Structure 1
């Protein structure tokens, strides 16, 4: 039974963008991460935390924090997608690696806009196959150039989101270069089965985002054509243990894989009042310590 190493991320403090007046200042975020009891973080959107390597390392070190991964998006299904993707990926991977991170979490671009309008057609099977080859090449390059492993994060309203597209993506990508960042909340939001994915693709699970969905809110908004952003505003994500999926059986299944995993606790809240995140982060960590089996903090 391997340890599941728990951390947190700027996302749990309502941070979605590099610069936004509604967001928690980065110094407060780092201080409150420590106050809540965490020792591991993700980079978050590039530019939110300092991008100067020496400054960021000093800020982390003085708080006893380590970094597990960088996070970014890709647009590799588009004709000009490689250039625009690499422009975002390279600095993110470089900074994360400089902080000692071994992973790069990459998310798909969106087919639905924040206002709910559909902006792109869903990828057909041929386009999914072509996209998978591009993501595999991206994984190869970030491994060779920065020493980080690409962990792909399905995302609601993204081109890899529901059970079908996730499974097809895993079939179309090279396991040597592409792992799966299993975001339990996004999978549940899109009607998928987290346990089934773990059992069918145990060798692809390389990283975790732990979050829960409020099933009552989800049921109320389904069929309304709302974007994920609009669903977040309506409180579709829940504080554990008040949502789905249940964490104890999920963590037990993951621990049985006998591989060391980083599991980043997230609760999507944007925007949110500045005093809301810290108590939730602390309660969530206490819950995982009590009910998470082999979790390590």
Structure 2
């Protein structure tokens, strides 16, 4: 297993305030220190990081500083997480321009993956046509990713028009994008992560792990997710990509990373035995 960690736990999942009035600046942003996050992730024993687009763009004029941060902590830059509404034609061009700028910088700094979430839920409810529009927009994201030698994957997420299993099944035939299952979001949306991995195995190049119980996202081993079955299935599928732990928030971010890394160590020992 290649094990990574998302830096968003350091500061939590928020957004860039400029996005309220300017779509091109509508980034995800964790308010914590990326430098502290990378050091803590490395100390916990992970080998790579994923970060939000807003945190990545903070290094637009400090690229060498970012490269040195990774080098000093022996970390790989796995990928960047971004997103959009994707169903409103008037703002789609701006969203895609933003995503292209993010992809270009991520590629230049050595990333492998471009992960996108989204698909807005309208105030009056979801239209069936929204899935066609979302699929078409995601195909444009795929083209952007390929332009910069990145692997594009879609991340189902609570609060979007693709959070339930039937919604995911509507979308996937309408787009060529890969799937990045977030195991906890899938369960919270009413799905079974093991079954989703089985169903879309040929379209999974990247995966997010986090645990879940009683409506709360948790470090691995602190909820009831069936990671033993998931890892066994990934082994059977000869999956050789990254598994990134992505825990939105935790009172002590470093401790949260350590808990999840310790939990995964048992599977590494089992594989070596």
TM range (shorter): 0.7 to 0.9
TM-score (norm 2): 0.86
Does residue 1:92 correspond to 2:102, yes or no?
yes
1:132 is paired with a residue of what secondary structure? helix
Whether the 8 Å CA contact 2:15–2:30 is kept in 1: the answer is no
Residue in structure 2 matching 1:73, options 80, 83, 92: 83
> Where does structure 1 differ by over 6 angstroms across 4 or more consecutive aligned residues?
18-22, 293-296
What is aligned with 1:10? 7
Write out per-residue CA displacement over residues 102-149 of structure 1, whole angstroms, 9 at most, x where no aligned residue: 2100001442xxxxxx7352131x3312321221122123212x1112
| Distance 1:279-1:47 versus aligned 2 partners, 3 A rule | closer
Q: How many residues align?
A: 259
User: 1:182 aligns to what SS in structure 2?
Assistant: coil
In structure 2, the CA distance between the partners of 1:294 and 1:183, relative to structure 1 (3 Å rule), is farther
- Equivalent residue, structure 1, for 2:256: 280
Q: Is the 8 Å Cα contact of residues 184 and 210 (structure 2) preserved in structure 1?
A: yes
Match of 1:196 in 2: 195
Structure 2 residue 32 is matched with structure 1 residue 38: no
Name 2:24's counterpart in structure 1. Answer: none
Give the aligned CA root-mean-square deviation in angstroms: 2.4
> Aligned to 2:161, which of 153, 159, 162?
159
Structure 2 CA distance for partners of 1:22 and 1:86, relative to 1, 3 Å: closer
Shift of 1:101: 1.4
Paired residues for 1:223-234 under 5 Å: none
Q: In 1, Cα distance between the equivalents of 2:32 and 2:74?
A: 20
Change (3 A) 1:142 1:45: closer
List runs of 5+ in structure 1 lacking aligned partners. 112-117, 219-235
Distance 1:237 1:54 in 2: 34
Secondary structure of 1:151 counterpart: strand
Q: Is the 8 A contact 1:6 1:295 kept in 2?
A: no
Tell me the TM-score normalized by structure 1: 0.80
Cα gap change, 1:60/1:181 in structure 2, threshold over 3 Å: closer, same or farther?
Answer: same
Q: Tell me the residue number matched to 2:243.
A: 263
Structure-2 separation of matches of 1:293 and 1:84: 47
Aligned with residue 59 of structure 2, among 30, 38, 50? 50
Q: Which has the higher contact order (CA 8 A, sep 6+)?
A: 1
- Counterparts of 2:169 and 2:245, CA distance in 1: 23
- Structure 2: gaps of 5 or more residues: 18-28
